[in-house]
């Protein structure tokens, strides 16, 4: 591949199939969606005709689309009720991905809410085991690195490796978000930083398990444990960092998704900036 396949997160308002048109309009080579309104518990709802239109449309892209799981899901929650709802939602979303021909569903590992990391990891592992067992199809759960805000797990590469190794390994992949890595304390501002990070990713996780990249600049400082996305090249990571990150061989093979502030034509501008740097 000459350059990485990159695209934006697109809306499914008005029907899941509408995302394809938005992606085409933004010039996305691949794209990301939520398979349902992301701040509601209600399950995904689309007809088989809508799914067929989506699958058909998605074939026209350089790489297939990916999905991001609902923000409500917290497999590590102290509340048994929330854990139950989270598992059910994950089952429904994985099954929806299967119907839509989507192979990776990006998930934030979860927040233990003060109950401690060990308890949190056990809950995540158990929740994932049940969810992948019950869901239709074989969609991967792509565990996303987090910035480590609050009691959120997943802010160390080792966390993702632990969940993957102790959970349903063959169904778990990894999503690397540049803004989250940076917030969590993995520097990627220079060529040297990116080379060091790349070695660490390979040692701890193995690059082959990374199946999705989120390409976001950061509004907040290095190692701030905060997560606020900025337009590409205008944030704390900057152009040199993105140029180096985009040159990594694995990043050139997998979907690279921007989750930068959208609004008037900004997706197109951010994608153009990334292409210029790649």
Q: In whole angstroms, how close is the CB of 108 to Zn ion at the nearest point?
A: 6
Among 9, 125, 214, 219, binds Zn ion (CB under 5 A): 214
Is 164 a binding residue for Zn ion by CB under 5 A? The answer is no
Q: Mark 187-199 as b/e (b = at least 16 C-beta within 10 Å).
A: bbbeeebbeebbe
Q: In whole angstroms, how close is the CB of 249 to Zn ion at the nearest point?
A: 21
Is 177 a binding residue for Zn ion by CB under 5 A? The answer is yes
Question: What's the number of CA atoms in the CB half-sphere (13 Å) around residue 228?
Answer: 9
Residue 262 CA to residue 108 CA, distance in Å, equals 21
Active site residues: 39, 68, 71, 108, 144, 177, 180, 214, 227, 229, 259
Instruction: Write out the binding residues for Zn ion, residues 25-54 only, by CB under 5 A.
Output: none
Q: For Zn ion, which stretch binds (CB under 5 A), given 54-62, 162-170, 175-183, 193-201?
A: 175-183
Instruction: Write out the binding residues for Zn ion, residues 114-153 only, by CB under 5 A.
Output: 144
Is 267 a binding residue for Zn ion by CB under 5 A? The answer is no
The tokens describing 32, both together, are: 């990301």
Is 104 a binding residue for Zn ion by CB under 5 A? The answer is no
Query: Toward Zn ion, which CB reaches closer, 71 or 117?
Result: 71
Distance in angstroms between the alpha carbons of the first and the last residue of the chain: 12
Is 236 a binding residue for Zn ion by CB under 5 A? The answer is no
Q: In whole angstroms, how close is the CB of 90 to Zn ion at the nearest point?
A: 14
Q: For Zn ion, which stretch binds (CB under 5 A), given 29-37, 172-180, 235-243, 247-255?
A: 172-180
Q: For Zn ion, which stretch binds (CB under 5 A), given 43-51, 86-94, 132-140, 176-184?
A: 176-184
Q: In whole angstroms, how close is the CB of 183 to Zn ion at the nearest point?
A: 11
- # chain residues binding Zn ion, by CB under 5 A: 3
Query: Toward Zn ion, which CB reaches closer, 51 or 248?
Result: 248
Is 227 a binding residue for Zn ion by CB under 5 A? The answer is no
Residue 186: other Cβ atoms inside 10 A: 22
Q: Which parts of this chain interact with Zn ion (CB under 5 A)?
A: 144, 177, 214
């Amino acid at each position: 591949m000459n350059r990485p396949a990159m695209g934006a997160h697109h809306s499914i308002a008005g029907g899941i199939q509408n995302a394809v048109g938005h992606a085409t309009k933004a010039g996305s080579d691949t794209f990301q969606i939520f398979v349902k309104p992301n701040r509601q518990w209600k399950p995904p709802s689309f007809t088989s005709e809508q799914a067929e239109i989506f699958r058909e449309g998605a074939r026209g892209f350089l790489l297939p689309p990916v999905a991001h799981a609902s923000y409500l899901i917290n497999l590590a929650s102290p509340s048994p009720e929330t854990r139950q709802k989270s598992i059910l939602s994950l089952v429904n979303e994985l099954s929806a991905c299967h119907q839509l021909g989507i192979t990776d569903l990006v998930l934030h590992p979860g927040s233990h809410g003060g109950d401690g990391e060990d308890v949190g990891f056990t809950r995540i592992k158990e929740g994932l085991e049940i969810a992948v067992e019950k869901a239709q199809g074989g969609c991967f759960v792509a565990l996303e690195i987090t910035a480590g805000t609050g009691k959120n797990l997943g802010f160390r590469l080792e966390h993702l490796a632990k969940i993957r190794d102790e959970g349903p390994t063959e169904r778990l992949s990894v999503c690397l978000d540049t803004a989250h890595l940076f917030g969590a304390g993995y520097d990627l501002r220079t060529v040297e930083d990116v080379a060091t990070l790349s070695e660490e990713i390979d040692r701890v996780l193995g690059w082959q398990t990374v199946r999705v990249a989120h390409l976001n600049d950061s509004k907040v400082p290095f190692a701030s444990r905060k997560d606020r996305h900025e337009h590409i090249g205008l944030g704390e990571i900057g152009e040199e960092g993105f140029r180096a990150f985009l040159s990594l061989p694995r990043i050139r093979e997998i979907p690279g998704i921007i989750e930068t502030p959208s609004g008037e034509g900004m997706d197109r501008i951010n994608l153009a900036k990334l292409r210029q740097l790649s």
